[in-house]
Amino acid sequence: MPDRQAPGCEIRPARPQDIDALHALIRGLAEYEKLAHQAVGTPAQLQAELFGPTPVIESALLWEGERAVGFALWFHSFSTFLGRRGLWLEDIFVLPEARGRGYGKALLRHCARIAVARGCGRFEWSVLDWNQPSIDFYKACGAVLMDDWTTCRMTGTALARFAAEQ
């Protein structure tokens, strides 16, 4: 069901025919974050993870007329302390030329409503420490920055090497 949370836009779940638009927005996010060199995922991979036999992610696109100008992509996490699942917002993005219209807040609220409807104990995401406009925005929405947590990551050769060790 479409969600009209900000004037002039419509938020709706990603559909198979939206893959190219979603992939283009992901590329736009990667460029904005100065991480385009890391954005190696393909539309086919995105299609498989969203609509394959065992989907692991969900996404919604924000449309301004016939043009997709924003997206959110999320999946479920789990809190052993709460004993409940959570909603992890992997990415949220609005094209620079479409900002200032309430679209980012509409997308964030859309995800929050999904988390509440599903009985999630948490709604979480990360933000790059240099991205002060986003940090300010999230704080204004009521989010708390978890300064005492640091993200750990293994990828590529380091992941393969560690997994192969006896």
Catalytic site positions: 138
Please give the distance of CA 3 from its chain centroid, rounded to a whole number: 17
In whole angstroms, how far apart are CA 114 and each of 13, 88, 108? 11, 11, 10
User: What is the residue whose two structure tokens read 């009521």?
Assistant: 142
* Residue at 76: amino acid letter: H
Contacts of 39 (CB under 8 A, 6+ apart): 26, 27, 30
| H-helix or E-strand spanning residue 123 | strand 123-125
For residues 94 and 64, the answer to whether their CB atoms sit within 8 Å is: no
Q: How many CB atoms lie within 10 A of CB 3?
A: 18
